Amino acid sequence: MDKLSLRDLKLNQKRVLMRVDFNVPLNADGSIRDATRIILTLPSIEYILRQKGRLVLISHLGRPKGSFDSKVSLRPCAQKLGELLGKEVGFCFDCIGAEVQKRVQNLNPGEVLLLENLRFHKGEESPEKDPGFAQSLAELGDVYINDAFGAAHRSHASIVPIAQFFPANCGVGFLMEKEIAAFSKIYLNPNRPFYAMVGGAKIGNKIDILQALSKRVDGLFIGGGMAFTFFKAKGLAIGESICDESRLKFARDFLKECERKGIRLHLPIDVVVTNGKKIQTVQIKGGVPDKWEGKDIGPQTVELWSKELNRGATLFWNGPMGVFEERAFASGTERLAHFLSEVPGDVTIGGGDLVAAVQSLNLEKKLSHVSSGGGASLEFLANGTLPGVEALSNK
């Protein structure tokens, strides 16, 4: 990798400003439901503290849209991090301003301070409207580290503009380094055959990756809610199933393009449907009945896809194949996850919902790589890099 890493920078006594991804799922009472994203940053955090750095952590959580929202405060993350580290983690109720600067200046080597949610300020997501926000953040550190792979595909203030204030002192953390290594291998030189499975509900934010993957893979498998847009594009009845009407033209064009180029595009052959009272499995060639809604891929699809996927040397999977959080519609995702945990090929998965599903099955250690980023993993595979990576210092 041609970017500076933690190992390349002098951290002793320095104020180390590190962007992390503590965008953790929360319970209704505000407690943390899954601390995986915090746990993944521990190697970088512990290394900085051992080097006697004065660590200042910044992150976003949820979508507060530029104003304070106590429901997405990062304070629970500070408490959880303290438990994991076995030491006190300071917390500041803002991320810029005089009080924050004072708290940072008073940090001792080996201490850590987490600042409040970056997205409480409009300048985080819209740096062009408030360029001073990135500069105010930058004033808090002597060194900048980005260890937030899950947010590195966004050009937000704490990801891209901030790096210009550290021309020779910004680099990647250990989590980011691990993610880049895993996806660079898939992007540059995947073992063949290379298969990709893409699921999830919406097709809109995955158009670019579908087009990019279609040029690189030996087989593309599309499931989840987004499959129904393709079914409708093929003229099949989809009942009350989710469909992105604005993307139907793309779906039609994409299907024709794959056929013209001989790209092996796999759609489900059967789906699990419900009318709110009953659940049944139908063959998609006959369409989804009126007033019924598709919720999962069916067992015949899992069986058919598994035979094909077993031939793969490199497999990438993003997005669940059904509404897995509802027990009745989790089978497709779970059966595929179990199958992929046993295949001989290298398996990489990305996306928060899918990662949660795999972790609930205790399968993550059986896979080659479980990514901390959904959108970031997709964009990396499409472009071979991310805005947040490009912004950092070269070696």
Proportion of the chain in helix, strand, coil states, percent, rounded to 5 = 40, 15, 40
Q: Which residue has the tokens 């992390």?
A: 20
Q: What sign results for the dihedral spanned by CA atoms 312, 313, 319, 320?
A: positive
- Kindly report the backbone phi and psi dihedral angles of residue 57, in degrees, each rounded to the nearest multiple of 5, phi listed first: -100, 135
Which stretches within the chain are classed as H helix?
Answer: 36-39, 42-50, 75-85, 98-105, 122-125, 132-138, 174-188, 207-214, 227-233, 248-261, 299-309, 331-340, 352-360, 375-383, 387-390
Answer yes or no: 200 catalytic: no
141 marked among binding-site residues: no
Two tokens, residue 23: 């965008």
Judge whether 81 is annotated as a binding position.
Answer: no
Considering the candidates 75, 122, 185, 202, report the single residue annotated as catalytic.
202
Residue 202 appears among annotated catalytic residues: yes
154 is in an annotated binding site: yes
Question: In 3-state terms, what secondary structure has residue 143?
Answer: strand
Among candidate residues 37, 103, 178, 232, the one labeled active-site is 37
Q: Is 218 annotated as a binding residue?
A: no
Q: Is 103 labeled as ligand-binding?
A: no
90 is in an annotated binding site: no
Residue 373 falls in the annotated catalytic set: no
Sign of the torsion angle spanned by Cα atoms 37, 40, 42, 44:
negative
Q: Tell me which of 352, 373, 374, 388 is the catalytic residue.
A: 352
Residues 6+ apart with CB under 8 A from 304: 266, 269
* 40 annotated to a ligand binding site: no
Which of helix, strand or coil describes residue 319? coil
Asked if residue 60 belongs to a known ligand binding site, the reply is yes
Q: Is 91 within any annotated ligand binding site?
A: no
> Is 267 annotated as ligand-binding?
no
Is 61 annotated as belonging to a binding site?
A: yes
The burial class, CB within 10 Å (0-12 / 13-18 / 19+), for 99 is exposed
Q: Tell whether 86 is in a known binding site.
A: no
* Residue 63 annotated in ligand binding: yes
Q: Among this protein's residues, is 37 annotated catalytic?
A: yes
Supply the residues annotated as catalytic: 37, 202, 352, 375
Binding-site residue set for ATP: 206, 294, 325, 351-354
Residue stretches of the annotated binding site for (2R)-3-phosphoglycerate? 37, 119, 154
Q: Which residues are annotated as a binding site for substrate?
A: 21-23, 37, 60-63, 119, 154
List residues forming the annotated binding site.
21-23, 37, 60-63, 119, 154, 206, 294, 325, 351-354
